[in-house]
Structure 1
Amino acid sequence: MAAAMMRAAAQRCTEVRASGQAKVAPAAAQLPLAPEETYQYQAEVDRLMDMIVNSLYSNREVFLRELVSNSSDALDKIRFVALTDSDAYKTGEDLEIRIRANPEEHTVTIEDTGIGMTKDELLSSLGTIARSGTAKFAEAVKESQGDANLIGQFGVGFYSSFLVADRVKVQTKSNDDDTQWVWESAAGSHSFKVKADESGDRLPRGTRVTLYLKEDAHDIADDKKLASLIKQYSEFISFPIKLWSSKQETERVIDEEATEKKRQEAKEAAEKEGKEAPAEVEPVMRTESKTVQDWTVQNDNKPLWTRSPKEVTKDEYDQFFKLTFKEFLEPLGVSHFNVEGTIEFSAMLFVPGMAPFEQQDMMQRQRNIRLFVKRVFISDEFDEDLLPRWLGFMKGIVDSSDLPLNVSREILQESRVVRTIRKQLVRRSLDMLKEIAGRPEEDGKSDYLTFWEAFGKMLKLGAVEDQANKGVIAELLRFPSSKSGESLTSLKDYVGRMKEGQEAIYFMAADSREAAAAAPFVEGLVARDYEVLFLTEPIDEVVMQNVAEFDGKKFSDVSRDELDMGDGEDASKKAEEAAAQYKDVIDFMKETLGDKIEKVTVSQRLADSPCALVTSKFGWSANMERIMKSQTMGDSRAMEYMRGRRSLEINPDHPVVQALQSKVSSSAPDAKAMTELMYETALVTSGFSVDSPKEFANRIYSMMANGQAGGAAAPQQAQSVDPEVLGADKDDPWRQ
């Protein structure tokens, strides 16, 4: 809407004659040549100018970026014209931009040897806001199927001059016009002036913009300040940017006074000795410091990303990465590529050699991707537009002329171009990570392990958030396992080691590798030589739920009921027989524990433990329940619902279960206490928390006291404990 308003307002640009009558300005070619002509902006343009100056740009120092960009456009134009017009360079072949500060007069001048402007072009380009000669030129080139290599189509860049200047003067000379023209306007003014330049300060060809700085911007009229801004915003412009700068130089000169003194001393010495004084003595030299001013090129380094990747050395990539992103370690990987087609752009992506010192910084808004448009730095605040959050650790450069920007040139708009670039960056990032993962170890060190320790959590986030790429990301995931020792394993390697007939990828979630390895659920699997992945980070279970399968193998949580271990009919038959044999124990335990559990079953997964608590298919695992409880805003009702139903599995081959069967058969009074203690112990070993730690502790103390009573004398403090609580059978294995 704003652009439409600007176009409409620009069409109503009016001329103010000496009579003071305002009317619509005729075409520039129809205007009589006059010493000076004043044009008044319509009210809408005044308002939009005020918006530009006061609120459109967040950093007023971008004025230099805009003016240098305009100069680069003008140089691109004359270079393009020269391809078909051999006379274009008769007014000068040097294509360059010159910037000069005058601290005494508080001015900054930006001059180029570009195409320049006629009076018509001056009025249409600088007399309006949303119409630019560059946009028109780009349209003409498109129609002719040429390539002017333009940035263009920003519209309001020139007016950023008024962010720092009270007054702006533009002098311009085109090959198509014998007259050099001057455009002048002041900040806050409702008008601009155009006249033939009679100053005698003629340009062979091109445009010179002189900024008369505001009082609070006088510090900009400094060559060091300008050099810093050029380096920040325009270091990689394809034309040389020359800055009039001063530097201190030293030279050796004759010290006349010291030399004359030396001559006199030599003469006096000769007279004393009756000799003839020497005609000359060796002059005495001294070092003088002087200030030298000259044009110095500020952007003599060709942008690395514009070169062919084959021409760039590893050392050049490393140095560029360290200098550009203030890193001190070499990158683990580099992806340098050019995309050509309907959308063209160049990019370099780097995988850092280490994570930020503050890990949480990776999840905050990053400034890792620097956006350029035809080598003009635009911003480093568009990371989330160009890369998904899970690739926020990547650092790099993106340079394209096709990127859509709004009038401020600082807020990226959603578009097909952005989506295409984003898709390419993600694909190239994944390709680079796969290349790093495939590197062999050197001196016992793995580049990918270094990467994984720094950024592995980010890839796990990607497996959850990026549905389109979760399959590729899954190939890059690493986990400890029951067969990996102290190292990690990939899912591909896990599948490669699977036993014949194994249909699932088994995993156990816990808060540490040790806890996962000690969990009762993995006992039977390990005993059968199955490999179990150990998930030790909070996001791991969510990753498994989201990825669901790998290489056609589904993920299976070993802590849930209905675990299929592929044991076949014989094992199932054996379990049925055990269930029948222990039916009285199963019924007794269910009756004793009541609603605490859904059912009691004979386990096929337990080997060394007497019992374990497994969760239903859709409820939280013990690990997830622990994580959710740690959330301060947890909803207790929702937690109770998501907890799901738990089942108690018993190991019929374990002495404790056999002892309980004996007690149940004999109606021993302590059978219930033993059942409660088995249940609470199963809670702990299965990763859950005990509902009443005090009652659990009392049962343990009772067991300890009973054990002491069967052996040496019990300690004094344990005498009040009833020794019959857990039974007094001397051969009871529960007491051993």
Structure 2
Amino acid sequence: MSKQGNLSIHSENIFPIIKKWLYSDHDIFVREIISNACDAILKFRKLCDMGETTDETQTPFEVTVTVNEKESTITVSDNGIGMTEEEVEKYITQIAFSGAEDFLNKYQDKMDKEQIIGHFGLGFYSSFMVADTVEIDTLSYTGAPSVHWSCDGGTTYELSEGKRTTRGTDIILHVTEESKEFLNFYTLSSTIEKYCNFMPVPIYVVDANKETTTSAEGEENTVEAPKPINDPIPLYTKKPSECTDEEYKTFYSKTFMDYNEPLFWIHLDMDYPFNLKGILYFPKLHNEYEMVEGKIKLYNNQVFVADNIKEVIPEFLLLLKGIVDCPDIPLNVSRSFLQNDGFVKKISDYITKKVADKLISLYKKELDHYKSCWDSISPFIKYGCLREEKFSTKMKDYILYKTIDDEYITLNDYLEKVKDTNENKVFYVSDKEKQSQYVTMFKENNLSAIYLTHPIDSSFISHMEMQNKDVKFMRIDADISSALKEENTAIDTAKEEKLNTLFTSILNNDKLKVKLETLKSQTVPSMLLISEESRRMQEMMKLYGMDTNGMPPSEATLVLNENHPLITALSTKDLDEHTKELACKHLYDLALIANQSLSADAMQAFLQRNNELLMALLNK
């Protein structure tokens, strides 16, 4: 037996659901109510443009939000299209019936759908999230009598003759005790700025309880003309050719409260196959270790939707600051919808392409500026290469590396520069201070190495090796370039074996390899080389929270410089056992310090040994 029927909604249950579940953030009522007010104005203005009616008052279009803390009310007023009694019953009393959608359907051949904000019909009822009673006073442009509507959140409403005498609508919210925070003028103003900063109609906020002050002479103080809280024509809605550099900088500082000038920006302006506008800014880092917390604000028709939605904005660009406005993305939508929406992926791909195109253009046309920005923009670019394969493919030939001689070159330039010495090895410095002796040796011998000191670089190195199979990145202390060694010199293997036995015995470390080399430099007696693979393994252990400080490095090689007087003396002079022990331990610790911090016990022993050596020198 089968049976069909109609689904029914019990009205006594709808308001508790609206209050608790319609929106996750209760302050969203500001966006919804003011959006409706802006829509009312845009509708009327469009009717005037189409010749359907005329604006006899010629008063400026605006939305006014009045907060009255004493009366516990917030009133949103507009001078838009207004409503007749029939329209109030149709659009207000029928929940989820959209007046905006109805208007668009009626005039679909005469206007662009992106000109109207609302489409869902639920926005008005968000007011019951903060109010126990809501009133509407409205007067239609048609000349029909004004209408007053009120509802206390129950199942009934009252409809009567209204008091409004000018075209437009007042929405009066009687705010509950639980939501009285919104009755604070500054709280309400900041909330309006958050959601309505770029709405296309001027919005004014008025404090009804603010008294006029008077001077000592009894004269009223001069009050400046009020200014709208929003920017109805934000810079990103204009064509790039209409914007000056100064306007871009001003818009950035005002929007993001960042008074450091951005390095550069990308103006997004696309009409097909989707409508998308915006500006992305590359902020300036204060130092190379700083990780900037970016903010990409997503808008729909100049109405704020959310911050940093990585389903729409490529994740690596969330480090930037900017505005993206796309009318095709709903105001209220689940992230699971965005994750599975092919259209959203196209938007993300477009933004990625525009960023890559801008960077490549800077490299080709403004190379000096590109180089001057590199230290700040490199974390964004490297993170993008790690996260987005297409971005990495486009950018791989335009990634710069800063050399120890403070030049900025590409990987291909570096490989060409060292092709006669390093066999596709890329030597890099991860810590300028700890590896300073190696840097000095490289500079003394006109060798090249690059700085890779940012936290992201350890992952980026592996990525670049995957892209360039024949290239090997090696930290400057992982191997000795043949160019650092004296030419045509043979190592005395017997001497090397003797030193190896001496050090491994005194250090009690039979895993340590000791190697004798004749280096060109006479300033460095000992160096500790740790294989790149071993060191990367230790870094991975640190990443997972394992303590490696003071841990003896595996696959470590202690290089002793035969060209240094200390090593010569150690291998030729007849020294007592205690002096040999002091010298070996000290040479090892000096080499180790250039690679990592000593453990607490090792540092204590090192300091005591220093004191003993100084005393021996003074008593000599």
TM-score by length of 2: 0.72
Match of 2:513 among 574, 591, 599: 599
Correspondence 1:518 to 2:444 = no
Match of 1:406 among 324, 328, 332: 332
Matches for 1:108-257 after TM superposition, within 5 Å = 108=75, 110-114=77-81, 116=83, 119=86, 122-123=88-89, 125-135=91-101, 147=113, 149-170=115-136, 182=147, 184-193=149-158, 198=161, 208-211=169-172, 213-214=174-175, 233-239=195-201
Q: Cα 1:74–1:550, aligned 2, differ >3 Å: closer, same or farther?
A: same
Contact 1:116 1:172 survives alignment (8 Å): yes
| Partner SS state of residue 498, structure 1 | helix
| Partner SS state of residue 115, structure 2 | coil
Contact 1:242 1:297 survives alignment (8 Å): yes
1:189 positional shift:
1.1
Contact 2:500 2:513 survives alignment (8 Å): no
Which residue of the partner structure matches residue 266 of structure 1?
none
Correspondence 1:479 to 2:410 = no
Which residue of the partner structure matches residue 25 of structure 2?
57
| Root mean square deviation, CA, Å | 5.6
The residue type paired with residue 683 of structure 1 is: L
Which residue of the partner structure matches residue 372 of structure 1?
299
- Once residues 144 and 206 of structure 2 are traced to their aligned partners in structure 1, the CA distance between those partners, rounded to angstroms, is 27
1:147 positional shift:
3.7
Which residue of the partner structure matches residue 722 of structure 1?
none
Match of 2:464 among 525, 547, 552: 547
Q: Cα 1:293–1:610, aligned 2, differ >3 Å: closer, same or farther?
A: closer
| Partner SS state of residue 336, structure 1 | strand
- Once residues 553 and 242 of structure 1 are traced to their aligned partners in structure 2, the CA distance between those partners, rounded to angstroms, is 61
1:498 positional shift:
0.8
- Once residues 55 and 584 of structure 2 are traced to their aligned partners in structure 1, the CA distance between those partners, rounded to angstroms, is 102
Contact 1:183 1:192 survives alignment (8 Å): no
- C-alpha offsets along residues 246-289 of structure 1, whole Å, 9 cap, x if unaligned? 9999xxxxxxxxxxxxxxxxxxxxxxxxxxxxxxxxxxxx9976
| Partner SS state of residue 81, structure 2 | coil
Which residue of the partner structure matches residue 509 of structure 1?
429
Which residue of the partner structure matches residue 646 of structure 1?
556
- Once residues 136 and 257 of structure 2 are traced to their aligned partners in structure 1, the CA distance between those partners, rounded to angstroms, is 39
The residue type paired with residue 535 of structure 2 is: W
1:159 positional shift:
1.0
Q: Cα 1:620–1:143, aligned 2, differ >3 Å: closer, same or farther?
A: farther
The residue type paired with residue 321 of structure 2 is: K
Q: Cα 1:116–1:401, aligned 2, differ >3 Å: closer, same or farther?
A: farther
The residue type paired with residue 68 of structure 1 is: I
Contact 2:19 2:126 survives alignment (8 Å): no
Which residue of the partner structure matches residue 585 of structure 1?
498
The residue type paired with residue 615 of structure 1 is: I
Correspondence 1:683 to 2:603 = no
Q: Cα 1:703–1:423, aligned 2, differ >3 Å: closer, same or farther?
A: same
1:654 positional shift:
4.9
Q: Cα 1:459–1:182, aligned 2, differ >3 Å: closer, same or farther?
A: same
- Once residues 701 and 299 of structure 1 are traced to their aligned partners in structure 2, the CA distance between those partners, rounded to angstroms, is 69
Contact 1:405 1:413 survives alignment (8 Å): no
Contact 1:107 1:213 survives alignment (8 Å): yes
Of structures 1 and 2, the larger Rg is shown by 1
- Once residues 594 and 290 of structure 1 are traced to their aligned partners in structure 2, the CA distance between those partners, rounded to angstroms, is 86
The residue type paired with residue 155 of structure 2 is: H
- Once residues 603 and 337 of structure 1 are traced to their aligned partners in structure 2, the CA distance between those partners, rounded to angstroms, is 58
- C-alpha offsets along residues 218-237 of structure 1, whole Å, 9 cap, x if unaligned? 99899999887766643533
Q: Cα 1:692–1:657, aligned 2, differ >3 Å: closer, same or farther?
A: same
Q: Cα 1:580–1:144, aligned 2, differ >3 Å: closer, same or farther?
A: farther
| Partner SS state of residue 447, structure 2 | coil
- C-alpha offsets along residues 127-147 of structure 1, whole Å, 9 cap, x if unaligned? 344442434666788899964
1:158 positional shift:
0.4
Q: Cα 1:610–1:322, aligned 2, differ >3 Å: closer, same or farther?
A: closer
Contact 1:517 1:534 survives alignment (8 Å): no
Q: Cα 1:578–1:403, aligned 2, differ >3 Å: closer, same or farther?
A: same
- Once residues 230 and 466 of structure 2 are traced to their aligned partners in structure 1, the CA distance between those partners, rounded to angstroms, is 52
Match of 1:344 among 268, 275, 291: 275
Correspondence 1:559 to 2:477 = yes
The residue type paired with residue 377 of structure 1 is: F
Q: Cα 1:586–1:468, aligned 2, differ >3 Å: closer, same or farther?
A: farther
Matches for 1:281-300 after TM superposition, within 5 Å = none
The residue type paired with residue 447 of structure 2 is: Y
Contact 2:461 2:473 survives alignment (8 Å): yes
Contact 2:435 2:477 survives alignment (8 Å): no
1:649 positional shift:
3.2
| Partner SS state of residue 63, structure 1 | helix
1:47 positional shift:
3.0
Q: Cα 1:474–1:384, aligned 2, differ >3 Å: closer, same or farther?
A: farther
Contact 2:504 2:512 survives alignment (8 Å): no
1:655 positional shift:
5.3
Q: Cα 1:174–1:184, aligned 2, differ >3 Å: closer, same or farther?
A: closer
1:591 positional shift:
6.2
- Once residues 148 and 378 of structure 2 are traced to their aligned partners in structure 1, the CA distance between those partners, rounded to angstroms, is 58
- Percent sequence identity over matched residues? 21
- Once residues 92 and 550 of structure 2 are traced to their aligned partners in structure 1, the CA distance between those partners, rounded to angstroms, is 65
- Once residues 335 and 128 of structure 2 are traced to their aligned partners in structure 1, the CA distance between those partners, rounded to angstroms, is 17
1:45 positional shift:
1.6
Contact 2:136 2:150 survives alignment (8 Å): no
TM-score by length of 1: 0.63
Correspondence 1:48 to 2:17 = yes
Tell me how many residue pairs correspond in the alignment: 599
The residue type paired with residue 479 of structure 1 is: K
Match of 2:447 among 522, 525, 530: 530
Which residue of the partner structure matches residue 73 of structure 1?
39
Which residue of the partner structure matches residue 310 of structure 1?
241
Match of 1:332 among 256, 263, 267: 263
| Partner SS state of residue 588, structure 1 | helix
- C-alpha offsets along residues 67-120 of structure 1, whole Å, 9 cap, x if unaligned? 23123334555666778x75455999989455475969857252443385783x
